Structure 1
């Protein structure tokens, strides 16, 4: 493609060391504020990547990572030959898919409906109530939900009042995944709606005014103005969600699952926790965790490419 004048001017302006130095001096305070977060990212996200070599080594605790012998793809082959590995991958994909299908639209719909409330006081009250679960630890939330779904909980009390037999929901494979999805949506939908509310607030009011002049009601304006204007944000959030498709929610499942529902709730993260931290099989757990990260990266790149092909570059991350 031919080079545009604006692109040439940009490169010429910032190719000079003096210009870059002036820009650095101008934003030095902002860069200084960025420094703690950058250091945190380096220490806790990039330096630990050195530990990924454990996936290709026979870890010896006496020799450490550096002195442990190389074994190539031994632990990857071991994972692919393990029947339980495929079970945890299947459970992870199923639970994540359910959360994505049923949970992803909820913050969007909630933000759109919340935006239509005319009372500002009531809107703030609803927002505050919906945000609260996000700030409660899954340790606490799990205890609440386990109590609610227990034999003596309110749900079984209602069932018994209707003449039904009580159900052990938390130990029944038929209900456990549904409970995970519903409780996950309850915990996250309010907080997840913030970015969509911000996007709605950025919509040009003149579009709504013109639609009102043409006789469009609230519902038509939601369908033909609000939702189409949210498409770029929805696309980006979908790409990010696909990146965590293999992250089914360790905190939630670890605090809620038990041996009775292990066949439908054991995911990659809980599997890595057991074989790595409990059984001290560090090399094997690293290989499984690395497999998850590689698949997540492939999914992000693939979805980003698909969105770029369908909707153009303005709806993608890069």
Structure 2
């Protein structure tokens, strides 16, 4: 059965509620990201499954485990690109992040992917006697062992990054989506309170289209052309290691943009891109957040690598 959960229940409950904001999120604009001029156009299209290999389709049954399904499928693709085909456990992720009412936040799945990893399906199966699972089964973790925990670390991933978009999507949003699919193996996102992994993009009937790998078995994949809000787009990227520490002298602010920067001993500026980072720097004694030297413009300064101030 393609959709085992009654439609009214899926729409009311959903497995992927939109997550609350968190200032600690690293967003695409906070990273040393450069669009790739070799990225195929919308007219040419690109799909990670066509380029690399087709992934196995899963069935989440009557559970609300779509966040676990989406992240395990994305991690399978990243491993396929770098090492080879692997079958990872959606239950391993979902059983650690589910909400009391069912479902989970995409960010929590990303944290598992980065901090703990994802073990093989053979070690923590996501099926009940080879049948699609119930919600109660997907929450079980009593059969997790030191072996499953150690195996998950093998498939631990990189830093997760959040792509902030608006609705309806702007031209810039669409272009960022195209680049992320091409450069980072796709992404995980929410759509109509359901989480799925996106593997490709193309034009269909003249409209920009992305393809979701769904978790309701074969022939359940979906296409998206901007008709509803797509949210909490998250992907994994290998951020650079912080360079050697550079002493920070003071905070300098741009009166026009109101952005605040740390001025380093090397006379370069580092943008303080969120309040949480500023508080952490203040608490560690790197900067006094209450002392800001505001300037009309900062043209005479060079902006340096922000990772010099991040541990």
If the length of structure 2 is used for normalisation, what is the TM-score? Answer: 0.24
Calculate the TM-score normalised by the size of structure 1: 0.23
| Structure with greater helix share of residues | 1
Q: Answer 1 or 2: which has greater strand percent.
A: 2
Structure with more contact order per residue of length (Cα contacts < 8 Å, sep ≥ 6) = 1
Rg: which structure is higher? 1
